[in-house]
Copies of this chain bind each other. A is one copy, B any other.
Amino acid sequence: MRRLNFYERFSRAFHDHPSLSKLLIVFTVSGGGLVAYSESKSYDGVNIAAPPELDSKKKRVVVLGTGWAGTSFLKTLKNPSYDVKVISPRNYFAFTPLLPSVTCGTVEARSIVEPIRNIVRKKNIDICFAEAECIKIDAENKKVYCQSNQGTNLNGKEEFVVEYDYLIIAMGARANTFNTPGVVENCHFLKEVEDAQKIRRTVIDCFERASLPNLGDEERKRILQFVVVGGGPTGVEFAAELHDYVNEDLVKLYPKVKDLAKITLLEAGDHILNMFDKRITAFGEEKFRRDGIDLKTGSMVVKVSDKEIYTKERGSGETSSLPYGMVVWSTGIGTRPVIMDFMKQIGQTNRRALATDEWLRVEGCDSVYALGDCATINQRKVMGDISSIFNKADKDNSGTLSVKEFQEVIDDILERYPQVELYLKNKQMRDIVDLLTDSKGDVAKESIELNIEEFKSALSQVDSQMKNLPATAQVAAQQGSYLADCFNRMEKCEENPEGPLRFTGSGRHRFRPFRYKHFGQFAPLGGEQTAAQLPGDWVSIGHSSQWLWYSVYASKLVSWRTRALVVSDWSRRFIFGRDSSRI
């Protein structure tokens, strides 16, 4: 509660005194790491419920994946009593928020990656890395099956099996095609570094091909029709980047075809950037219209052939087709086959991602954790536990709950059920006790006594505030460092549990449950303008947010090397423009 209030007050201050925003920028730039710092420090005193088995030999921890969640776990892990194996098809961590910049060469691919071996080598922990893909998880026998993904000169693929005591699944997700025919064959995705590099080459390919002699104007137009499917932050940022690339750099080099290039953004919903504040959405749509980016909302893609993309209007049901040169598909995330297979094994069917509890433990199996885009937290409902809560709080077993009795378990309730806090905030209540008094009318606080039915009815609405966390880098990174912190203090917290009361059992939970803190989100809109939505619904749009974006991203990069490279890439772009060599 304390921390949240701080942010609230912080953001309100900006509402009231807009000039403070400049101060924040200066502070962020000069401090170079404000947000990164606060984030990396955020889990002192959090914990997990799995009982640590104290063996003489080191526990084997297997981490699958080196994305935001896996890398954040590895960076935060400090306890040398584990034998850690990291398995990932990519031997590097990629700073994915800059991927759209890589597609147009604003930033180089190599500037946003850091070898995972480099990240872990200075740690005092046994961490070994294997560049391989996990192809099967066998939770029953505590084994994962892996396959090296190399080809060249190294005869066939290598398979091996790794045993674990704790398994951490942080494999992320894949692009979601919604089974639309032709998407996999004909579209570009924007999930991996390789995707971004391929898009960059294809943009140049399109311009080179459109410049060949002996082509009709219709054909040139088709080749230079770029289509972006999906109006989320990634799709919008890519469309904006591409527009800048074409209009700032390519028009100079391809003067003959510059007027033929066109960018179309297809969004199935009514608006782009619909997870953002309406002001941002409106500004983004207006800016795109001014820029000449063709925005088609309410337009669902039904099929993609090798030369045309077929859409259906959501309202009228009308279908139409658009000839294209390149399509980038960015409509959200889907489940990786190996995760799908694992979910089947443990009886979690018909889900997009692995269900975990609030301590990130996969439901239905032992010693397996899942975090990042491949997992969602199943938040426990207050109403499911309401009788247990009542019984636990009713210390004198009187059958009624006094405010005093209730106040003794308030902190535990707030910690165990974060939706309660959200509900109070939403109702603009300052204290959970207000919930109880509300239902009792004008009675003096101290004398209120509720029976079980009254208690149920008082809390009946709180679960309505539950929602899944977004599939963002921010969530994954916080989960990774949270889990590492639990592993760091596994033994200590076994002896002195730190978590909330177990309402449905005895004693306390060993660790505090995972709690996400939202630091805000950016939506770069091109032309050196960015929309920023910071906590407390503080919205900032324009050039100053662009500089905030620069400084936050520079500070959050994983190493001084990448920081130096990205900043020098940005400077290079300002001075020399973006490169258009097809390599």
By a beta-carbon cutoff of 8 Å, the part of chain A in contact with chain B is 90-92, 108-110, 113-115, 117-118, 121, 128-132, 148, 150, 152-155, 158, 160, 162, 186, 193-194, 197, 202, 204-206, 208-209, 211-215, 223, 252-254, 256, 306-307, 325-326, 560-561, 564-565, 568, 572, 575-576, 579-583
Complex CA gap A492/B326 in Å reads 49
Complex CA gap A452/B110 in Å reads 70
Please give the distance in Å from A109's CB to the nearest CB on chain B.
Answer: 6
Which partner residue on chain B sits nearest A213 by CB separation?
B160
Which partner residue on chain B sits nearest A194 by CB separation?
B583
- On whether the beta carbons of A325 and B212 are closer than 8 Å, the reply is no
Please give the distance in Å from A86's CB to the nearest CB on chain B.
Answer: 11
Given contact pairs A153-B202, A572-B564, A113 touches B160 in the complex (Cβ within 8 A): no
* 23 sampled A-B residue pairs with Cβ under 8 A: A92-B583, A110-B579, A113-B581, A113-B583, A114-B581, A115-B581, A117-B580, A118-B253, A121-B252, A128-B211, A128-B256, A130-B212, A131-B211, A131-B212, A150-B208, A153-B325, A153-B326, A154-B205, A154-B206, A160-B213, A197-B583, A561-B572, A565-B572
- On whether the beta carbons of B209 and A158 are closer than 8 Å, the reply is yes
- On whether the beta carbons of B113 and A110 are closer than 8 Å, the reply is no
Is chain A's interface secondary structure helix, strand, loop, or mixed overall?
Answer: mixed
Please give the distance in Å from A558's CB to the nearest CB on chain B.
Answer: 11
Residues of B within 8 Å of A109, CB to CB, are 583
Residues of B within 8 Å of A579, CB to CB, are 110, 113, 115, 561
Closest A-B pairs by Cβ, 3 of them: A92-B581, A131-B208, A561-B576
Given contact pairs A209-B154, A223-B154, A253-B118, A204 touches B91 in the complex (Cβ within 8 A): yes
- On whether the beta carbons of A212 and B154 are closer than 8 Å, the reply is no
Complex CA gap A547/B202 in Å reads 39
Which partner residue on chain B sits nearest A327 by CB separation?
B153
Complex CA gap A118/B252 in Å reads 9
- On whether the beta carbons of B212 and A148 are closer than 8 Å, the reply is yes
Residues of B within 8 Å of A152, CB to CB, are 202, 205
Given contact pairs A91-B580, A202-B153, A209 touches B148 in the complex (Cβ within 8 A): yes
**Apart from A131-B208, A132-B212, A153-B306, what 17 extra A-B contacts exist at CB < 8 Å?**
A91-B208, A92-B581, A92-B582, A108-B108, A113-B579, A117-B254, A128-B256, A150-B208, A153-B307, A154-B205, A155-B306, A158-B209, A158-B212, A160-B213, A194-B583, A564-B572, A568-B568
Residues of B within 8 Å of A91, CB to CB, are 204, 208, 580-582
Copies in the complex: 2
Please give the distance in Å from A317's CB to the nearest CB on chain B.
Answer: 28
- On whether the beta carbons of A160 and B214 are closer than 8 Å, the reply is yes
Complex CA gap A478/B348 in Å reads 70
- On whether the beta carbons of A155 and B564 are closer than 8 Å, the reply is no
Complex CA gap A205/B132 in Å reads 11
Please give the distance in Å from A9's CB to the nearest CB on chain B.
Answer: 40
Residues of B within 8 Å of A202, CB to CB, are 152-153
- On whether the beta carbons of A118 and B197 are closer than 8 Å, the reply is no
Please give the distance in Å from A247's CB to the nearest CB on chain B.
Answer: 16
Please give the distance in Å from A233's CB to the nearest CB on chain B.
Answer: 23
Complex CA gap A148/B132 in Å reads 36
Complex CA gap A252/B118 in Å reads 9
Complex CA gap A47/B258 in Å reads 39
Please give the distance in Å from A342's CB to the nearest CB on chain B.
Answer: 21
Complex CA gap A208/B131 in Å reads 6
- On whether the beta carbons of A212 and B160 are closer than 8 Å, the reply is yes
Complex CA gap A206/B211 in Å reads 40
A117 touches which of B113, B215, B253, B565 (Cβ 8 Å): B253
Complex CA gap A149/B73 in Å reads 45
Please give the distance in Å from A322's CB to the nearest CB on chain B.
Answer: 14
Residues of B within 8 Å of A212, CB to CB, are 130-132, 148, 158, 160
- On whether the beta carbons of B580 and A560 are closer than 8 Å, the reply is no
- On whether the beta carbons of B108 and A325 are closer than 8 Å, the reply is no
Residues of B within 8 Å of A92, CB to CB, are 581-583
- On whether the beta carbons of B186 and A153 are closer than 8 Å, the reply is yes
- On whether the beta carbons of B131 and A582 are closer than 8 Å, the reply is yes
Complex CA gap A528/B118 in Å reads 24
Which partner residue on chain B sits nearest A307 by CB separation?
B155
Which partner residue on chain B sits nearest A202 by CB separation?
B152
Complex CA gap A186/B154 in Å reads 10
Complex CA gap A110/B117 in Å reads 25
Residues of B within 8 Å of A115, CB to CB, are 253, 579-581
Residues of B within 8 Å of A325, CB to CB, are 153-154
Residues of B within 8 Å of A583, CB to CB, are 92, 109-110, 113, 193-194, 197
Given contact pairs A213-B162, A326-B153, A121 touches B253 in the complex (Cβ within 8 A): yes
Residues of B within 8 Å of A160, CB to CB, are 212-214
Please give the distance in Å from A183's CB to the nearest CB on chain B.
Answer: 13
Residues of B within 8 Å of A154, CB to CB, are 205-206, 209, 223, 325
Which partner residue on chain B sits nearest A580 by CB separation?
B115
